[in-house]
Amino acid sequence: MVDVISKKDVQTVSDPHKRDIDPWADFRLVERLNLEFTQNYTHSLGKYSRFFVELENSRFMATRCETCEGVYAPPRPLCPQCLRVTQWVELPGTGTVETYSVLHFSPGSNADVEALKTPYILAYVLLDGSSTLFPHILDAPPDIVQIGMRVRVHYVDRTVFHPLHLMYFVPVEG
Ligand SMILES: [Zn+2]
């Protein structure tokens, strides 16, 4: 849609030294366009790729440093303590909520996030066997979520926008 502002809608600035002559008068006709752009990107998930590939196989992978025995989930290709290349290890996918937030607004940053119904839970989960916290969506009613709650990874088998949404956490029943 083309939206035109005519110059009679634009107030000219009076300048006594220029005797009220507006040298920009012919350029005050402003045309505004509403344009929508779409771009597709192809990018690599690099050294983290195996984590996302294995989510499609319903396996939760972390990395482990053989020097300090630290286990990183999300995975880190390099141990930040020892600067040693880590090794892939599989975790059982169960863990404990260490802290969480109830979100009443979705940033809508991609189709997966847009699909979230508010309020939703962002939980920081200490996975069994891991040394670090893993932040992700916890699909549970806000009134039952609490620190110390046991959760497990739920694997998604539908098409997702970003492979991080091939999983989310759910409460462990019983
Ligand atoms: Zn280490």
pLDDT along the chain (174 residues), means of 10: 54 57 87 89 91 96 98 97 97 98 86 86 98 97 97 94 93 87
Question: Are 11 and 51 found together in one domain?
Answer: no
Question: Are 165 and 103 found together in one domain?
Answer: yes
Identify the domain containing residue 18 by its residue range. 2-33
Please report whether residue 18 resides in a domain.
Answer: yes
Ligand 1 centre distance from Cα of residue 2 (Å): 60
Question: Are 58 and 25 found together in one domain?
Answer: no
Is residue 47 helix, strand or coil?
Answer: helix
Ligand 1 centre distance from Cα of residue 64 (Å): 8
Question: Are 51 and 113 found together in one domain?
Answer: yes
Question: Are 123 and 91 found together in one domain?
Answer: yes
Specify the pLDDT at position 126: 98
Question: Are 81 and 12 found together in one domain?
Answer: no
Please report whether residue 40 resides in a domain.
Answer: no
Ligand 1 centre distance from Cα of residue 86 (Å): 8
Ligand 1 centre distance from Cα of residue 42 (Å): 32
Quote the pTM value: 0.75
Is residue 119 helix, strand or coil?
Answer: coil
Question: Are 61 and 105 found together in one domain?
Answer: yes
Identify whether the C-beta of residue 153 lies closer than 8 Å to the C-beta of residue 167.
yes
Specify the pLDDT at position 113: 81
Peptide bond into 16 cis (omega under 30): no
Specify the pLDDT at position 161: 87
Question: Are 10 and 73 found together in one domain?
Answer: no
Question: Are 115 and 148 found together in one domain?
Answer: yes
Identify whether the C-beta of residue 66 lies closer than 8 Å to the C-beta of residue 36.
no
